[in-house]
Amino acid sequence: MRPTPWLHCLRGVVGRELLRFLHQRSRFLAALVRPLVWLFVFATGFRMALGVAMTEPYQTYILYEVYIVPGLVGMIQLFNGMQSSLSMVYDREMGSMRVLLVSPFPRWYLLICKLLASTLVSMVQVYVFLAIAWAYGIQAPALGYLFLLPALLVTGFMVGALGLLLSSLIRQLENFAGVMNFVIFPMFFLSSALYPLWRIREGSYLVYQIAALNPFTHAVEMIRFALYERFNMEAVLISVSVAAILLALAILGYNPSRGMMARKGG
Amino acid sequence: MPFLSQGDRKPTTKHFTLGLVLGGLLWLPLTAQAERIFISNEKDNTVSVIDGTSLEVIETIRVGRRPRAMAFSSDGSELFVAVGDDEAIDMIDLETLQVVRSQSSGEDPEVIRVDPNRPYIYVSNEDDNIVSVLDYEARTLVTEIPVGVEPEGLGISPDGRWLIATTETSNMAHIIDAEAMEAVHHRLVGARPRHAEFSHDGSEAWVSSEIAGMVTILDMEETFDVKHVIRFDVPGVPRETVQAVGVALTSDGRYAFVALGPSNRVAVIDQQTYEVLDYLLVGQRVWHLALNADESRLYTTNGVSGDVTVIDVEGLRAIKSIPVGRFPWGVIVEP
């Protein structure tokens, strides 16, 4: 096929997602309020007024609210990725997914378009959040905001692909909400988003080991390093690999002949 | 002319790159911080040397036991280090970075200052309640000036006319006439005064008090009385951890910086209004401070975390913390 129809398809899916996001103001506000509450309320309570010990990529001592920002960026993407995948279940229930599926393009391409669309939406949310944090006084180096872009892309694909995989396994909208609680909260809390790994290790070695294995930890560290103009090879490799594996599984899950969709008749 | 004949050639990417490189080379000396920062490590018996460009430790000099305060000789060729447990002043040659000689200082020397006009070192001898005056050229003891109980901080006016000794049990600032070599005024300040620093025009002396967590400003022009008191309140930090120690004042009269000990903060103060503008987070138990020559950077010693924090003065933010030895105490930047 010529590239133009492919781009036309991409534009259609991305445009629909962005339009839906813009029309759902409450969703935008909710997406923004959640990390801001964490930043202004939770981080204030856990302020660690005497500073967080020096840890990479920071060059000096930082306050807790500075530490928590990359974790909250990851949180925005995690919730957005899951919410976007939740909409897949909704679309399937409402029948609007059929419109997408009658497209002549391969299903893997449609899924990637969908992932890209939801990632772009999450990027908008992230940069608005970072702008508010900047005004509050949490300021990363200027170039860090640019280096953050590819890290957001990888994280967006990773959590989005996980959501797609879950949505391919779930029959009803009600079930999805339950799975979200079992996925989002453990992923978020058992990671370095809220506390450095060395700190978790001091509390529980088991929890530390789980957190060190959690791909979301590596995504958050990738974001943290990028925001401070550093490249964390290990975090990038793990995040990209996990994103690729989850995407492959999600594509498999949505394959009408081999995946879960076949069994469910989706 | 061959040079002009190239004028009609169009600039290429190669030329552009060459221009960037040459431009960069020309720019480099203007931006590089070709300075050395000396840190006394109280528990390691060493002095760390940090390169101001790379902000890395480039040398560690072994000195006597318990090094604390440091000062440069008037000609800038030597660094004097008070080594308390050896009861001496070690003298480091700044070319070779070796201790070349040592001079007896009296008991437990903690803080030293160098007279800007004479080859004298003033030493606070905590256990003897005196300030010793040493001639570092003749290597003799010039005199001993009696002050209050447990002298600690010393400050000298830019013209060398006045010396201030703070005594931590008497809670006083003793103003010493450096010509007569005797204390002529005595002023009560906050509990456990630690450090005295003159403003660059010599009109004020800022005396920090560790337990009181405050700075007392003395008028040094007419009355020699207390002119103002600055107290500190770091949000979210227990009051008892706010302990004022090191003080540094910019020469343009803009900022004063005060190290606040275990609160891990450096207070930024407007020198004109005495208003506390900000508290900057640094390493653990920040003790002493030093500005570099162009006052673009402030260096702090953080005793418990064993590092030095570099503060960008213009942006008022900590930019880096550099691990040094155990319990870094004093800091001084080569002029």
For chain B, list the domains and their CATH numbers. Answer: 36-334 (2.130.10.10)
Please report the pLDDT score of residue B8 as a whole number.
38
| % of chain B at pLDDT higher than 70 | 90
Residue of B nearest to A141 (CA): B319
Distance from CA of A59 to the nearest CA of B (A): 5
Q: What is the pLDDT of residue B172?
A: 95
- Half-sphere exposure (Cβ direction) of A93: Cα atoms closer than 13 Å: 14
Q: Tell if the CB–CB gap between B235 and A49 is shorter than 8 Å.
A: yes
A45 contacts in chain B (CB < 8 Å) = none
Contact A60 B320 (CB under 8 A): yes
pLDDT one-digit tens code per residue, A49-71: 667 777 889 989 998 889 999 99
User: What is the model's pLDDT at position B198?
Assistant: 97
Determine, for residues B309 and A60 on separate chains, whether the beta-carbon distance falls below 8 Å.
Answer: yes
Question: Cβ(A194)–Cβ(A177) under 8 Å?
Answer: no
Residue A82, phi then psi, degrees to nearest 5: -70, -40
Give me the residues of chain B with pLDDT under 70, please.
1-33
Contacts of A134 in chain B (CB under 8 A): none
Residue in A with minimal Cα distance to B241: A50
SS (HEC) of chain A: CCHHHHHHHHHHHHHHHHHHHHHCHHHHHHHHHHHHHHHHHHHHHCCCCCCECCCCCCCCCECHHHHHHHHHHHHHHHHHHHHHHHHHHHHHHHCCHHHHHCCCCCHHHHHHHHHHHHHHHHHHHHHHHHHHHHHHCCCCCHHHHHHHHHHHHHHHHHHHHHHHHHHHHCCCHHHHHHHHHHHHHHHHHCCCCCCCHHHHHHHCHHHHHHHHHCHHHHHHHHHHHHHCCCCCHHHHHHHHHHHHHHHHHHHHHCCCCCCHHHHHCC
Residue A57: asked if its preceding bond is cis (omega within 30°), the reply is: yes
Q: Does B22 touch chain A if contact means CB atoms closer than 8 Å?
A: no
Dihedral angle sign, alpha carbons of residues A28, A29, A30, A35: positive
What count of CB pairs under 8 Å joins A to B? Answer: 41
Answer whether B281 sits within 8 Å of A61, measured CB to CB: yes
Residue B281 and residue A54: Cβ atoms within 8 Å? no
Q: How many residues does chain A have?
A: 266
Specify the pTM.
0.82
The amino acid at A64: Y
Chain-chain contact of B281 with A63 (C-beta, under 8 angstroms): yes
Residue A59: list chain B partners with CB under 8 A. 319-321
Print pLDDT tens along chain A (266 aa): 556 877 877 787 788 777 777 777 777 787 788 899 888 887 776 666 667 777 889 989 998 889 999 999 999 999 888 887 777 777 776 766 666 667 777 878 888 888 898 899 999 999 999 999 999 989 999 999 999 999 999 999 999 999 888 888 776 766 666 766 788 889 999 999 998 998 888 889 999 999 999 999 999 999 999 999 999 999 999 999 999 999 999 888 877 665 555 555 44
Of B235, B241, B318, the CB nearest to A60: B318
Q: CB–CB of A60 and B319 under 8 A?
A: yes
Count how many residues are written for chain B: 335
B236 and A61 in contact by Cβ < 8 A? Answer: no
ipTM: 0.73
